[in-house]
Structure 1
Amino acid sequence: MPLFLELLRSETAAKPERMAKALQGLRQYQEAPRQPLLEPMPAIATVHGATLRDYGGSGLPVLFVPSLINPPNILDLSEDKSLLRWLATQGLRPLLIDWGWNVEERRSFSVAGHVEEVVLPFIETLGEKPALVGYCLGGTMAMAAAALRDAMSVTTIAAPWRFSGFPAEARVRLSRLWHDAEPAAAAMGLLPMEVLQSAFWSLDPARTVAKFEAFADMDSGTPEARAFVCLEDWANDGPPLPEAAAREMFEAFLGADLPGAGEWRVGGVAVEPERFPSPLLNIVSTTDRIVPHSSAFTGGERLDLASGHVGMVVGGRARSDLWEPLAAWLSRSAREC
């Protein structure tokens, strides 16, 4: 909350009426009724506090790797906003890595360590080659996993690979944020979610304020208001990030762009483009403020969507724009392999 209020003061210093409106929206959000979350799907394996959840269905196993930041339920948000439950009705068998809240066992794991110690063991658990699908930073991790283990295919959704494609101003701002947070993160061995959330706010502070101003005018009983609350709860939730993973993300990725340079090492192996399997699909948002389209991997097939980082997965056009093309591509690539 203090970080948000600091951002709000900065963005509305010359317009106190905007500050008042945004604070009204914030209060309405805090007091809004909440819908119960969906029950987690059955667990078929657990590794280092992370769980592999089976969404049923049949046919090709499709292993989803979510970001380490925010909970994975953006892929299973509600009965009518669940990519995973829908895919289970399309002749596919979706499985989800749920990182969970117990990060103690992974406190020393970098991003690469999560690939080595969690993603790869889950692939081996399946006993057959899966299709890998990664969202956001999970897409970066899925590509690394696909380079090290046989996979039927790999798909990334709003995933960064060429971190030099982030705007220079954003990289400088995120570097300063890490510089300020690093001593506490090193002492605790963890980077709190609040710091990561402030990093997202810093990428588009005007929109952060504007959305609460707009919420102030919404009727809390409308579907739009309920959807706003659900998404904000997701965006503001999540366990802390292990310090080693945060350090690699800020220094090796955003700072040095090791993945984009082909110098990121996972399991002692450089993750180079020639190691990626074919077929490969990159689903990219052309309006993404969190992971700009210029940071996406340039090889393989590409599907450009004019939806935001989150809207492309759960927005009003998500089924027609992303879910259906993804299901068709997965099924087609499995037949052709």
Structure 2
Amino acid sequence: MQARLGPRPLPLHLGTALMTWASSESAWKLLKPGSQNSSPAREPPEALAALLPEIGFLEAQAGPGRFDEALKREILRRMDRLADGVLAYQRHAVRRTLEEPPAVWREGNTRLLDYGATHRAARRRGARAVLVVPSLINRWEVLDLTAEKSLLRAMAAQGLRPYLVDWGTPDDEERGFDTTAYVGRLERALAFVAKRARRAPAVLGYCMGGTLTVALAARKPRRVAGLALMAAPWDFHADRTGQAFLVSTGPLLAEVADRVGELPVDILQTLFWSLDPWLAVKKFGRFLGLDQNGEHAKEFVLLEDWLNGGAPLAGPTARECLVGWYGDNVPGKGQWVVAGRRIVPSKIKVPALVMIPSGDRIVPPLSAAALADPKKGLKNATRIDLPLGHIGMVVSGRARDLCWTPLMEWLGNLPTRRSRVVTG
């Protein structure tokens, strides 16, 4: 059994907590009464006093060094709790054991998994085929986390036939892929599904996969019966909240990708860390308080395994994303070119569903909302706003009711486009 290395990059998560908490002790030495930088009337700043709710400033004055000692104890307690939470995760016995559906198509390290193969409802004549496209960065397993929390299995049970794109890990050839190469691969996967289904399939894109499927629909509109997008970024300058680190470091990271041939997983995880540096500290503290044999702990471990198990990003694609998308906003400006064609959402007329989670910290809602804009967005789009997060729209307790159900209803109600229209 392979040892868990997460949360990745672990030194960064531990270092963030250690440096912050240790600096609290240094700050107190400077600010406490009697130090050269304090005055007799000065009290500790509110943020410092809040660090130890059980110890107020007046109590600290009751005896020399009491606050100092309590502060050290609290720092050690928090460090121990973080370490215990990480170790509890790394040593947890649960592993993802769901059986994979059959792979029905391959190209390079990319596979198509047929999630309808073992569901009677999905195998019925006329079942709507859906090409499901996840991000290139995070693997597909979040869409099939457990038997109960599997969007793909729920779709099959409802009579849809999902074909999932598993991008795999880039091989030597794929490390040279740009977005044109990836969209080209999607075009061939779409052609396979259309031929197999004898009609134009729907296309569902999640996160970066959604951005790629917009280009797919623009290039092959007659082969796409409908385009559903879940938290798909488009206007990368609509809201830069939380994106400053990525924007500022984009050109440097692109140089790294050029030299190495790919953007490594730990660098990608560092970009996610930059959106909320304290997220790991908070969530592993909460994890330690869970019943370690309960369902919530099991789901936490499986989700964390998914988060830490991403794939590197091919060098040319990394440059396009970091410099072209985040830096220059070429999709949002209508300047993204794929295989010689400019991708302009307002020229795409296929029926579209744009699902926007309002609590998304990975893809700002305003970025995804650009695709539903009445003037510049997709021509025939329905917009649904969800009170969920980027990952919560797929696996949270409310995902089935708020996201899965309207998504599946929309896909099921798409008009049929027969095989004669999928040859072009």
Shorter-chain TM-score: which interval?
Answer: over 0.9
Letter of the 1:124 counterpart = A
Give the one of 287, 303, 308 matched to 1:231. Answer: 303
Q: Is 1:135 matched with 2:216?
A: no
The structure that has the greater radius of gyration is: 2
Measure, in 1, the Cα distance between the counterparts of 2:237 and 2:413: 33
Distance 1:235 1:82 in 2: 16
Mapped to 2, the partners of 1:288 and 1:259 lie a distance apart of 20
Distance change (3 Å), C-alpha of 1:18 and 1:112: farther
Give the gaps of 5 or more residues in structure 2.
Answer: 1-9, 25-50, 52-74, 117-121, 419-424
Q: How many residues align?
A: 335
Residue 72, structure 1, aligned to residue 143, structure 2: no
- Residues 150-196 of structure 1 show CA distances to partners (whole Å, capped at 9, x for unaligned) of 2101011011011112325x333003443443443222201111111
Q: Measure how far apart 1:257 and its partner are.
A: 0.8
RMSD between superposed Cα atoms in Å: 1.9
| 72-81 or 19-28: bigger deviation | 19-28
Code of the residue aligned with 1:132 in structure 2: it is V
Task: Name which of structure 1's ranges 185-194 and 323-332 shifts more when overlaid on structure 2.
Answer: 185-194
What is the rounded CA distance, in whole Å, between the counterparts of 2:21 and 2:248 in structure 1? 22
Larger RCO (CA under 8 A, 6+ residues apart): 1
Note if 1:308 corresponds to 2:380.
Answer: no
Say whether the 8 Å CA contact 1:103–1:242 is kept in structure 2.
Answer: no
> Does the 8 Å CA contact 2:217/2:350 hold for their aligned counterparts?
no
Partner residue, 2:67: none
2:160 is the alignment partner of 1:92: yes
Q: Is contact 2:143-2:152 (8 Å) kept?
A: yes
Give the partner amino acid of 2:12. L
Question: After the TM superposition, which of the residue ranges 293-302 and 308-317 deviates more from structure 2?
Answer: 293-302
Q: Which of 253-262 and 5-14 deviates more?
A: 5-14
- Kept in 2, the 8 Å contact 1:153–1:279? The answer is yes
Q: Partner of 2:34 in structure 1?
A: none
Q: Work out the CA distance in 2 between the residues paired with 1:152 and 1:254.
A: 30
Identity, in percent, stands at 39
CA contact (8 A) 2:170 2:312 kept: no
Task: Give, in whole Å, the separation in 1 of the partners of 2:114 and 2:257.
Answer: 34
What do residues 262-289 of structure 1 show as CA deviations (whole Å, max 9, x unaligned)? 1101111000023323311111100111
For 2:149 and 2:296, the matched residues in 1 are separated by 13
Partner of 1:317: 398
Which piece of structure 1 moves more, 18-27 or 121-130? 18-27
Whether the 8 Å contact between 1:134 and 1:157 is mirrored in structure 2 is yes
The 1:315–1:294 alpha-carbon spacing in structure 2 relative to 1, beyond 3 Å, is same
Q: Partner letter of residue 238 of structure 1?
A: G
Q: State the distance in 2 between where 1:248 and 1:336 align.
A: 34
User: TM-score, normalized by length of structure 1?
Assistant: 0.94
Which of 361, 371, 377 is the matching residue for 1:289? 361
Q: Could you report, residue by residue, the CA deviation over 1:129-169 in whole angstroms, capped at 9, with x for unpaired residues?
A: 1101000000001111011112101011011011112325x
5 Å matches for 1:323-334? 323-334=404-415
Q: Tell me which of 70, 87, 94 is aligned to 1:27.
A: 87
Report what 1:6 is aligned to.
Answer: 15
Q: Which amino acid aligns with 1:64?
A: V
For residue 316 of structure 1, report the CA deviation from its aligned partner: 0.6
Q: Deviations over 1:54-100 (max 9, x none)?
A: 11114111000100011111111111111111111112111100001
TM-score for the superposition, normalised by structure 2: 0.75
Equivalent position of 1:119 in the other structure = 186
Structure 1 ranges of 4+ moved more than 6 A: none
Distance (Å, rounded) in 2 between the aligned partners of 1:208 and 1:11: 14
The one-letter code matched in structure 1 to 2:407 is L
